[in-house]
Structure 1
Amino acid sequence: MIRLHLHLMSDSTGETLENIAKAGLAQFDGVETIKHFWPMVRSEGHLDRVMLEIAARPGLVIYTLVNSEVRRRLETRCHALGLPSVSALDPVIDALSSVLGQVAKARPGRQHMLNAAYFARVEAIQYTIAHDDGIAAEDWEEADIMLAGVSRSSKTPTSIYLANRGYKVANIPLVVESPPPPSLYGLRHPLVVGLTTSPDRLIQIRRNRLLSLAQSPETAYVDQEAVAAELSFARRIFSDNGWPVIDVTRRSIEETAAAIINLVNERRSAQEKDAGDTEAGGAA
């Protein structure tokens, strides 16, 4: 097992760096990573204080700093300490500058400006949290996406991930003993998507959940026949209503969300085409 101190330094929130580091680390096995976050570093004095901490825990430094003096000081200090340092966005910005024929605007945190898209994402997250696990059915029509599936079929984490992409998402568990409200079948605005998985995988996830709660792992919740009946019940509902279905057995949350977003975009394109055909027909 390799132990790595990873220092993520930014002149903004550090969100971009965190995502880059996560994507990079996913390519390696056997690494114990200790992440150190250094956000809002915008002055040489602040940098000097951070460098004292980095020197005490040497490792790889990845940064996004636009101030040339602060960058130069960081690179000099890292070189003196024998530490590798990488400017995460330079290759992308250089390529864009070349293609666009423009010089990049050196504004710290420019990608995180509070614009309409930011507030829409916040609203989506708030809506999604308030409509988890079948709550507030009276507001489901406001959702962009409705996820349906049996317990532990990754509805909630997928909903939160989609909310972070700006989609309002509600979800509902499908329970044999407690059928969903009729309003679920009359939704017009949200795209309703069914999530399913293999019985063996579902039982494994449920067993782990019970063990984490210090509950007996031998209940109907993980019984092979009962689980198969639940999944069959859900599949009938999906089929009867013509909802698209995604099997999450071998998908990550990100992959499931990407598939759902593709379905949303396909539906939107079809609706726009239908609207265009209707207008053309009316004009004729």
Structure 2
Amino acid sequence: MPTGFHIHLVSDATGETLNSITRACLVQFEDVTAIEHSWTLIRTTGQMQKVLQGIQQNPGLVLYTIVDDKLRNLLVSSCRDLGVTLVPVLDPVMTALAAHFGQTAKGLSGRQHIMDQGYFHRIEAMDYALSHDDGQSARNYEAADVILVGVSRSSKTPTCVYLANRGIKAANVPIVPGCPLPAELFTIKNPMVVGLTKDPGQLVQIRKNRLQMLNSDEESDYVDLNAVREEVVQARRLCAEHGWHVLDVTRRSIEETAATIIQLLQEHREKRGLAAVREA
């Protein structure tokens, strides 16, 4: 059985949806090498003809998200003639939504990428994450949705950036031995605070790699296993004292960490909403 195959991803937009779905599925298959051919922003007959030429040269599975009927029909009929398998990735979901809402989909390409209010909200969240990275601008923490705290190299910054791309304003504050945290962190009322922690051994390795990248061979408590263990213990103790959530991100990807934080944030907002109703 062959272990490598061609797979064509054909989209009338950026192709992000197809890429995400394809990779989520491919990881479930071991010893399989997929040669991906990405065809994005396909919105004219001429562009589709180039796609079909590519499929003919390297036959393989074709996944597509094309909403224009003319282009869809051209792709479907041509793939049928070529004898390749074709999968309309969004059709089952679109059909279910159309039946549920009692409407017909508009069939407009790239509508998820239009510059609407949600788009500008994400830009605002990204700007907030960058300007409140690593303990900056503490005076404006109340505007955050989430504040992440944690020891050095516990994935605070990339998690904040990922959350910002979901429209969530996230700041992050490093917990550094001997350095007090910003006073504002203990007086905020609206944001949810989450502590990120990681296995000390993994932290040491990540920190050593970081120092090597910076051409620094400095031996210090920063990479001493016993010191890092104590650092992690103190950080956990701090979070417990203030009732902050704690997430161990040792075996979590950024996406998994962010998904958990989003779930916690939803619960946090629901509790605050109930509290506001009771007070009223």
TM-score by length of 2: 0.89
Q: Does the C-alpha gap of structure 1 residues 92 and 274 become closer, same or farther in structure 2, counting only changes over 3 Å?
A: same
1:105 paired to 2:106: yes
Code of the residue aligned with 2:117 in structure 1: it is A
**Contact 1:174–1:180 under 8 Å retained in 2:** yes
Cα RMSD after superposing both structures: 2.3
Equivalent position of 2:67 in the other structure: 66
Q: Deviations over 1:69-90 (max 9, x none)?
A: 2112112222333332211101
Q: Does the C-alpha gap of structure 1 residues 277 and 188 become closer, same or farther in structure 2, counting only changes over 3 Å?
A: closer
Within a 5 Å distance, the mapping from 1:253-264 to structure 2 comes to: 253-264=254-265
Code of the residue aligned with 2:47 in structure 1: it is H
The percent identity for this pair of structures is 48
Q: Does the C-alpha gap of structure 1 residues 273 and 17 become closer, same or farther in structure 2, counting only changes over 3 Å?
A: same
* Secondary structure at 2:279 match in 1: helix
Q: Deviations over 1:101-135 (max 9, x none)?
A: 33222222233333211211121112112222222
* Secondary structure at 2:157 match in 1: helix
Equivalent position of 2:139 in the other structure: 138
Q: C-alpha distance in 1, partners of 2:56/2:131?
A: 44
Q: C-alpha distance in 1, partners of 2:134/2:74?
A: 51
**Aligned-pair distance for 1:235?**
1.8
Equivalent position of 2:195 in the other structure: 194
TM-score by length of 1: 0.88
Q: Does the C-alpha gap of structure 1 residues 113 and 244 become closer, same or farther in structure 2, counting only changes over 3 Å?
A: same
Equivalent position of 2:148 in the other structure: 147
Equivalent position of 2:271 in the other structure: 270
Q: Deviations over 1:174-195 (max 9, x none)?
A: 1103332222222223211111
Mean Cα displacement is larger for which, 181-190 or 61-70? 181-190
* Structure 1 unaligned spans of 5+: 280-284
* Secondary structure at 2:38 match in 1: strand
Q: C-alpha distance in 1, partners of 2:141/2:83?
A: 56
Count of residue pairs brought into register by the alignment: 279
Equivalent position of 2:176 in the other structure: 175
Code of the residue aligned with 2:176 in structure 1: it is V
**Contact 1:211–1:217 under 8 Å retained in 2:** no
Code of the residue aligned with 1:11 in structure 2: it is D
Equivalent position of 1:27 in the other structure: 28
Within a 5 Å distance, the mapping from 1:242-253 to structure 2 comes to: 242-253=243-254
Q: Does the C-alpha gap of structure 1 residues 35 and 122 become closer, same or farther in structure 2, counting only changes over 3 Å?
A: farther
Q: C-alpha distance in 1, partners of 2:264/2:176?
A: 25
**Contact 1:207–1:217 under 8 Å retained in 2:** no
Within a 5 Å distance, the mapping from 1:112-131 to structure 2 comes to: 112-131=113-132
Equivalent position of 1:226 in the other structure: 227
1:89 paired to 2:90: yes
Mean Cα displacement is larger for which, 248-257 or 121-130? 248-257
Mean Cα displacement is larger for which, 212-221 or 164-173? 212-221
* Secondary structure at 2:67 match in 1: coil
Code of the residue aligned with 2:167 in structure 1: it is G
